[in-house]
């Protein structure tokens, strides 16, 4: 077997893998205490909010795929909040906006992560809320070794926090200075918030009643009231360079709940792959697999294979921009987009050289959406990203956060794949007394009328968050995912293709070099396009990289071991469990026995 950066973890009792070693260890602790995969996932989720606050927070979002033991297919938990009642296109235009800023109070939607976790715990877990929250409370109260990237994010915004977001300054720079990398960092306000929530929920007569009481305290009680009280007067600087008030209210929070829904799936080469619906970008992975479904899978070590995959991704993500949105409020031609016939009609567009055009497919009755997607791409900047130009204070707040991911499978066969995000320390001011900032997911809406991704009250933004599950031809169940915004389904696609080729285990496929394109419309403010862009890890090899340039790709060579943060867990038909995690960024870890 070839060298890997760490072993593929195997065992029969349980496996937990995530983007931070502490969270993975917490998940394993829940399994050791008799909990199941759902208990472990919830505990991991709350812990990740503490140890990776630049990547997710309690007021963020959380889509998950769950598969209870014995179930034929997974189920989606939608912990993605919708737009508040006051979030109308007319109001945002009145604020002088043509695009929703990437930070500040107008960028928020209803916080959804907490209720998503509560739904999972109530209906599928076995442990008390106090048990799964205790690790997060411990690390918030007594400290955790702060990541260097957290220190960097805080230090870069120190002056801005001091002058514009003083509640964030008090939380992230206790004593007036950023925490040193590796030093113990505490968030006592967050610990106090969770302690109060547990006290208020303790009166419930059953485990389920206590969870329901916690949901009430969060969405209709003191947490919602504290958010509402702050937002009534707060008027803060955002990434568009102005001080603006938000529109989220207690009524918005009280009227929203997380939900269950069916996933989308396709079959390919004996595999079945599941993704969340078109309120995520997940179907783009399924569409790309359809485009690549042929007798021979692409050789990912060759320029031809990398080129073919990249061009297929461009086509699928062009469709994302034209067609995806909240299916509860818009007609999404998903059956057509995922059909083999549609893929056949699009596959011929993949030529020998790199395309520099945005090329969404044409589906009868949806011409206006295609035109709108092309017009949006034409009017948004083609640049290296947000903050280009003068380093104003507003630009500083547009240091995008990322995301976290976790996968858990227990000895009974219960499985979870979840991708929490939002509520980043750099996205919005900390709510006084709560120790948590709001999310900025509304930036994924467009301020153009009549589109599936148009801003409207009660609509879900078309998020980039996209957990995954798959069943192999032998019946093994795979849970997988990654942070990475628009790159999430690109890296997951490459990972799946490597596993489909049957020559790599979970860790080998994660360790192998990755690539992605930013050719299509970005999901984050200021929504840049980079036609022909292709980022590659140098381990693809100089000959392959030069051949890609010769094909017309605008190749950007990333630092080695810097692209992708994949994790994965698997249960074989005989009960053997496997797990793996990326060595990139030196944070993710898989544990199990």
- Give 497-550 pLDDT, tens digit per residue: 999 999 999 999 999 999 999 999 999 999 999 999 999 999 999 999 999 999
Strand partners, 468: 480
pLDDT digits (tens, 9 = 90+) for 283-309: 999 999 999 999 999 999 999 999 999
Does 128 reside within a domain?
yes
pLDDT digits (tens, 9 = 90+) for 48-84: 999 999 999 999 999 999 999 999 999 999 999 999 9
Residues 6+ apart with CB under 8 A from 138: none
Q: Quick check: 154 and 147 in contact, CB under 8 A?
A: no
CB-based burial label for 248 (10 Å; 0-12, 13-18, 19+): buried
Q: Quick check: 108 and 246 in contact, CB under 8 A?
A: yes
Residues 6+ apart with CB under 8 A from 311: 349, 350, 351, 354, 355
Geometric angle at alpha carbon 89, from 88 and 91, rounded to 5°: 65
Does 361 reside within a domain?
no
The yes-or-no verdict on residue 453 having pLDDT over 60 is yes
Q: What is the mean pLDDT of residues 556-574?
A: 96
DSSP state of 119: H
pLDDT band at 385 (very low <50, low <70, confident <90, very high): very low
Count of domains for the chain: 1
CA distances (Å), origin 290, targets 78, 272, 286, 304: 25, 12, 6, 18
Q: What is the mean pLDDT of residues 136-154?
A: 97
User: In the structure encoding, which two tokens stand for residue 124, read together?
Assistant: 């599928």
With helix as H, strand as E and coil as C, how does 387-412 read? CCCCCCHHHHCCCCCCECCEEEEECC
- What does R_g of the chain's alpha carbons equal in angstroms? 22
| Calpha distance 493→477 (Å, rounded) | 17
Does 319 reside within a domain?
no
Domain holding 46, by residue range, is: 1-143+186-269+398-593
| Calpha distance 195→193 (Å, rounded) | 5
Q: What is the mean pLDDT of residues 91-105?
A: 96
pLDDT band at 2 (very low <50, low <70, confident <90, very high): confident
Q: Quick check: 56 and 404 in contact, CB under 8 A?
A: yes
Q: Give, for 567, the enclosing helix (H) or strand (E).
A: strand 567-571
Strand partners, 406: 18, 418
CATH number at residue 549: 3.60.20.40
pLDDT band at 589 (very low <50, low <70, confident <90, very high): very high
Q: What is the mean pLDDT of residues 355-368?
A: 96
Q: Give, for 215, the enclosing helix (H) or strand (E).
A: helix 207-219
Average pLDDT of the residues of the chain: 95
| Calpha distance 63→38 (Å, rounded) | 14
In the numeric block, the tokens 């009017």 are attached to 379
Task: Report which of 181, 170, 222, 183 is spatially closest to residue 201, judged by C-alpha positions.
Answer: 222
Give the model's pLDDT for residue 36: 98
CA distances (Å), origin 394, targets 55, 170, 172, 484, 557: 20, 19, 18, 23, 29
Give the model's pLDDT for residue 382: 74
Give the model's pLDDT for residue 206: 96
The yes-or-no verdict on residue 151 having pLDDT over 60 is yes
The yes-or-no verdict on residue 188 having pLDDT over 80 is yes
pLDDT band at 379 (very low <50, low <70, confident <90, very high): confident
Please give the span between the terminal C-alpha atoms of the chain, in angstroms, as a whole number. 21
Give the model's pLDDT for residue 401: 56
Of 327-336, 397-406, 481-490, the one with minimum mean pLDDT is: 397-406
Q: What is the mean pLDDT of residues 447-473?
A: 97
Q: What are the φ and ψ backbone dihedral angles of 185, each rounded to 5 degrees? A: -125, 135
| Calpha distance 136→222 (Å, rounded) | 20
Give the model's pLDDT for residue 560: 94
Does 302 reside within a domain?
no
Q: Is the sign of the CA dihedral 489, 495, 498, 499 positive or negative?
A: negative
CA distances (Å), origin 228, targets 113, 225, 427: 18, 5, 18
Does 371 reside within a domain?
no
User: In the structure encoding, which two tokens stand for residue 475, read together?
Assistant: 């019946």
Does 516 reside within a domain?
yes
Q: What are the φ and ψ backbone dihedral angles of 368, each rounded to 5 degrees? A: -65, -30
Q: What is the mean pLDDT of residues 330-340?
A: 97
Does 316 reside within a domain?
no
The yes-or-no verdict on residue 477 having pLDDT over 50 is yes
The yes-or-no verdict on residue 391 having pLDDT over 80 is no
The yes-or-no verdict on residue 395 having pLDDT over 90 is no
Give the model's pLDDT for residue 398: 43
Q: Quick check: 326 and 277 in contact, CB under 8 A?
A: no
The yes-or-no verdict on residue 397 having pLDDT over 60 is no
Q: What is the mean pLDDT of residues 308-333?
A: 98
pLDDT band at 393 (very low <50, low <70, confident <90, very high): very low
Give the model's pLDDT for residue 381: 72
Does 387 reside within a domain?
no
Geometric angle at alpha carbon 176, from 170 and 182, rounded to 5°: 95
| Calpha distance 13→592 (Å, rounded) | 7
User: In the structure encoding, which two tokens stand for residue 459, read together?
Assistant: 């609509």
pLDDT band at 383 (very low <50, low <70, confident <90, very high): low
Q: What is the mean pLDDT of residues 4-21?
A: 97
User: In the structure encoding, which two tokens stand for residue 230, read together?
Assistant: 């702050």
């Amino acid at each position: 077997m070839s060298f890997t950066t760490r072993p593929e973890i195997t065992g029969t009792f349980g496996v937990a893998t995530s983007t931070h070693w502490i969270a993975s260890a917490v998940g394993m602790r829940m399994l050791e205490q008799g909990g199941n995969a759902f208990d472990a996932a919830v505990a991991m989720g709350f812990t990740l909010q503490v140890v990776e606050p630049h990547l997710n927070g309690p007021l963020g979002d959380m889509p998950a795929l769950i598969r209870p033991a014995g179930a034929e297919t997974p189920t989606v938990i939608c912990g993605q909040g919708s737009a508040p009642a006051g979030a109308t296109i007319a109001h945002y235009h009145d604020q002088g906006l043509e695009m929703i800023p990437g930070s500040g109070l107008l960028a928020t939607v209803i916080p959804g992560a907490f209720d998503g976790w509560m739904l999972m715990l109530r209906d599928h877990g076995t442990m008390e809320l106090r048990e799964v929250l205790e690790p997060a409370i411990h690390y918030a109260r007594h400290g955790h070794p702060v990541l260097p990237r957290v220190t960097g994010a805080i230090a870069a915004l120190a002056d801005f926090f001091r002058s514009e977001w003083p509640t964030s300054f008090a939380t992230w720079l206790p004593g007036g200075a950023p925490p040193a990398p590796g030093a113990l960092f505490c968030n006592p306000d967050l610990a106090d918030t969770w302690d109060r929530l547990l006290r208020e929920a303790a009166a419930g007569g059953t485990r389920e009643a206590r969870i329901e009481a916690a949901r009430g305290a969060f969405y209709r009680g003191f947490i919602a009231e504290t958010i509402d009280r702050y937002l009534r007067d707060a008027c803060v600087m955002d990434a568009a360079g102005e001080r603006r008030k938000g529109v989220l209210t207690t009524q918005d929070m009280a009227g929203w709940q997380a939900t269950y829904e069916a996933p989308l799936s396709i079959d390919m080469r004996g595999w079945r792959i599941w993704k969340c619906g078109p309120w995520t970008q997940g179907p783009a992975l399924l569409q790309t697999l359809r485009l690549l479904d042929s007798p021979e899978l692409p050789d990912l070590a060759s320029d031809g294979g990398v080129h073919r995959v990249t061009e297929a991704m461009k086509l699928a993500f062009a469709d994302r921009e034209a067609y995806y949105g909240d299916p509860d409020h818009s007609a999404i031609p998903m059956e057509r987009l995922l059909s083999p016939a549609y893929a056949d009609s699009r596959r011929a567009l993949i030529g020998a050289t790199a395309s520099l055009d945005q090329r969404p497919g044409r589906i009868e009755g949806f011409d206006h959406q295609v035109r709108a997607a092309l017009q949006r791409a034409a009017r948004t900047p083609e640049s290296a990203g947000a903050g280009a130009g003068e380093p104003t204070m507003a630009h500083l707040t547009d240091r995008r956060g990322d995301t976290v991911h976790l996968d858990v499978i227990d000895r009974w066969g219960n499985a979870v794949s979840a991708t929490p995000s939002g509520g980043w320390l750099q996205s919005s001011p900390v709510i006084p007394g709560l120790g948590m900032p709001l999310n900025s997911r509304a930036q994924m809406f467009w301020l153009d009328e009549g589109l599936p991704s148009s801003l409207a009250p009660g609509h879900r933004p078309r998020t980039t968050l996209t957990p995954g599950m798959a069943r192999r031809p032998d019946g093994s169940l795979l849970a997988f995912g990654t942070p990475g915004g628009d790159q999430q389904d690109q890296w997951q696609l490459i990972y799946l293709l490597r596993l489909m080729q049957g020559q790599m285990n979970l860790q080998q496929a994660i360790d192998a070099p990755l690539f992605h394109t930013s050719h299509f419309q970005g999901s984050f403010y200021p929504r840049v396009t980079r036609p022909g862009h292709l980022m590659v890890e140098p381990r693809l090899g100089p000959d392959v990289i030069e051949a890609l340039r010769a094909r017309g790709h605008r190749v950007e060579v990333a630092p080695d071991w810097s692209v992708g943060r994949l994790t994965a867990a698997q249960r074989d038909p005989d009960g053997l469990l496997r797990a793996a995690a990326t060595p990139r960024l030196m944070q993710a870890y898989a544990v199990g026995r």
